[in-house]
Amino acid sequence: MALINIYTDHKKRIDTAVLLLLAIGLIGYINNFFLIWLVLGAVYLVSFYEANQLFGVQDNSLYAYAALLWIAAVFYPYGDDLFVIAMVVGASLVAYKPSMHWKSFLPFIYPTAGMLFLLTLYKDYDITAIIWLIAVVAGADIGAYVFGKSFGKTKFSETSPNKTLEGVGGGILSATLIGFWFGTEIVSVEIAIIISLIVAISSVFGDLFESYLKRQAGVKDSGNILPGHGGILDRMDGYLFGSIVMVVLLRGLV
């Protein structure tokens, strides 16, 4: 009966989550680079649009630059290097064209960095690493909800009043325990635990950063494309930080 009540109260959210999981499962099963590049590209461009709205950027020409950057990621092997190049080009344009507001630079940091590192994670470590990342971030989200509802008393941050320290701690613990099991497909148990723990912490702050942007913009969600969830950024926030941290740690510790 309790499960039925939970489903009734969160029907849209649960239905959307199930459809997303099925789609992700199918894409992962096919495991084709161009399909994943195409899907991530669509996610990136929608996220880029939502970020522009949150930052208050109204320059449609930026979408062409974002699309060109993603196309370049097909041919250039190091997506994280492309992010650095985007930073250099963006800073140069802002300096060269005084009419271009410095805020136009921001969407090329967030969500661009996380999406390019996510593609790099797949290129360098295959679909297993993506599954690992999903397990960690999803584990942190679900664990935080369960522990927060059950034991939450202490406010975690003014940025996100609904988050509790107990919930965040429980989420990180859950993500580490779930994540390291997937990580051992790539690295040793000890390294898998370390990476899962740090990625889980980074995903919490990815979610917190998204909450900060929404509070600054005065909106509840980054968009409305996902029924019951909001926008793409509302679902990608933890992955955008987690992908960067995972790539860096895998390169540094393995």
Range of the domain at 223: 2-253
**Which residues lie below 8 Å from residue 217, measured CB to CB, with a gap of 6+?**
53, 54, 55, 56
**pTM as predicted:** 0.93
Q: Is 233 exposed, middle or buried (0-12, 13-18, 19+ CB in 10 A)?
A: buried
The count of structural domains within the chain is: 1
Instruction: Give pLDDT tens digits along the chain (254 positions).
Output: 444 655 565 677 677 778 888 998 999 999 999 999 999 999 999 999 999 999 999 889 899 999 999 999 999 988 889 999 988 888 888 888 877 788 888 999 999 999 999 999 999 999 999 999 999 999 999 999 899 989 999 999 999 988 999 999 999 999 999 999 999 999 999 999 999 999 999 999 999 999 999 999 999 999 889 887 789 999 999 999 999 999 999 999 98
**CA 133 → CA 82, 143, 175, 196, 250, distances in Å?**
22, 15, 10, 8, 12
Which residue has 């942007």 as its token pair?
213
Phi-psi group of 31: left, alpha or beta (phi > 0 → left; psi -120 to 50 → alpha; rest → beta)? left
Tell me the residue ranges of DSSP E strands in the chain.
155-157, 160-164
